[in-house]
Each structure stands twice: as structure tokens, then as C-alpha cells.
Amino acid sequence: MSVRSDAPLAIVGAMQEELAALLAAMPDARPETLAGRQFWRGHLEGRPVVVVLSRIGKVAAATTATVLLAHHGVRAVLFTGVAGGLAEGVAVGDVVVARDLLQHDMDASPLFPRHEVPLTGMTRFPADAALANALAAAAQDVLAELPAHLPADVQAEFAMTKARLHRGLIVSGDRFVATAAESARLRADLPDALAVEMEGAAVAQVCHDWGVPFAAVRTISDRADDAAHADFGRFVGRVASPFSAAIVRRTLTRL
Ligand code: SAH
């Protein structure tokens, strides 16, 4: 598919609060409703963008991505949100930029290898390297400038001064992983998975079908263990949303 270079960049967010933070910086944003989703077209950091809430889960996110790609002619898709940390050392407050994405609950074996998306021959959907590099560089900048983005009490509460950037595999499935037993199972099945969430690999698959570059960044909101639910709401409101919005804005200035 050829896409004009002045075509908008899509920003697909999984969090209402983050979307609100981005829309506040887009005074010219105008919504268009399709399939029950609001697609906000406007400018962010001087760049044309379309911003939309993914909704939760693979089907909801794939539908959002399909409508976005079919109706908005975007040149690339950036996905942002929160995720549970899986690999050792991926802590709450850390940032993960996807190198590739996999659906951990896809299993059509023995007809197809476990985790392979039937009829695609693919298990892992790679992120666009240039976009992922831009996201990682922006995340690194934002992590280095934390004081400008978060109040000191919030940084202390979540030990954000130790926050790090990781790059690698993100896995997605239609489950909020909230027990130590389930995250241990995922780690055993997919030892190189850094983080688990519920949308990324679905959007990556849709973008692959359309030939549109895709990249994803997630702030770690919980460790996908028995404390996951308790951690979640507070972290999303106080830390993850302003943080993700800052990373997206910084990424745009690098493209
Ligand atoms: N916003 C809802 C719940 C969201 S579900 C609430 O008010 O509680 C969790 C969202 O965060 C999904 O979009 C998913 O992609 C991501 N996520 C964060 N931690 C996760 C985990 N441990 N397992 C799966 N998804 C997780």
C-alpha cells in the first residue's frame, strides 16, 4: 500500500486518561464516530495525527485498528498503554518497547504450531524497526527527565527513579493476568516475553495485513501476579497516563 508522507500518524491508546492528556494538547482535534469508536483527527507537536481509544481485548483492538486503517489512510500506527511485567527485572514503572508481538492464547495445535496465527505462517509479528527506535529514544529521554513529568511524591511511591527501558517480546491475550501461577506459566512457555497485555499483538497482525508500519510501547503497571489488581488503577491514573502521553509527544518530535 502506498501512503502519502503527509498522511497522519495514528496513535492508538489503551487508556482513557492518556487519551485525555493527548487530546488536551490537540486544540484542533475533531472526533468522527465509526463502529462506536471516536477517531480524533488533528495535530500534535505540529504533526497530523488520528488518536483513538483501542478498547480492551484483542477483538476490540483489532476492530479499532481495521476501521482506522480502512478509513483514515494513516502512514503508521503507534500503540501505547500499560502492561504486566513478566521477565525478571521488568518492574513497575519500567517501559517496554516491542521488538515483536505474539498472541499467547493462540493455540490451533496440532493443526498449526502453538502460537502460530493460522494461515499466516507467523507466530511473532515484528514491530517496525525505525518507529520502535524512535519510541525507545523518546522513552529514554522521558525517563531521564522524570522530574518534569511526575510529582516527587508519585516518583517516590512507585520508585520511579529506578525506572528502566527494555526492548523485546510483548505477548497479548484475552486475559488480565493477575496470579503468580499464571505469570509463571507464561514465563515457562515464552521465556523471552518481557510483558503481557491484551491488545498489541492483535493490532500488529492487522497492521501486518495492511502493510502499515506498527510499533508499541507499554509502561509496566503491575507484575501480573496476585497484587496486579491492587496496583493497577492507581498507577494508571497517577503515572502511566502522563508518562505515555509524554513518550508519544516526544516520539512525534523525532519522526
Ligand atoms: N481499565 C480497566 C481494566 C483494564 S484491563 C480497569 O479499570 O480496571 C487491563 C489493561 O491493561 C488492558 O488494556 C491490558 O492491555 C493492560 N494490562 C495491564 N496489566 C496487565 C496484565 N497483568 N495482564 C493483562 N493485561 C494487562
Place of cell 480492551: 56
What does the pLDDT read at residue 215?
A: 98
Nearest to 173 by CA among 96, 93, 114: 114
Please give the single-letter amino acid code of residue 229: H
By alpha-carbon position, which residue is closest to atom 25 of ligand 1?
197
Q: Which three cell numbers stand for residue 54?
A: 483501542
The SS3 call for residue 55 is coil
> Which domains occur in the chain, in start order?
9-252 (3.40.50.1580)
180 lines ligand 1 (CB under 6 A): no
User: Annotated catalytic residue: which of 197, 222, 225, 231?
Assistant: 222
What does the pLDDT read at residue 5?
A: 65
For 137, counting Cβ atoms within 10 Å of its Cβ (0-12 exposed, 13-18 middle, 19+ buried), the class is: middle
Q: Consecutive 10-residue runs of the chain (255 residues): their mean pLDDT? A: 72 90 94 97 96 97 98 96 95 95 98 97 98 97 82 79 93 96 98 98 98 97 84 81 91 91
Distance from the alpha carbon of residue 49 to the mean position of ligand 1, in angstroms: 25
Distance from the alpha carbon of residue 111 to the mean position of ligand 1, in angstroms: 31
The reply to whether 18 belongs to the active site is yes
Residue 144: other Cβ atoms inside 10 A: 9
Q: Which three cell numbers stand for residue 167?
A: 526492548
196 lines ligand 1 (CB under 6 A): yes
What does the pLDDT read at residue 239?
A: 84
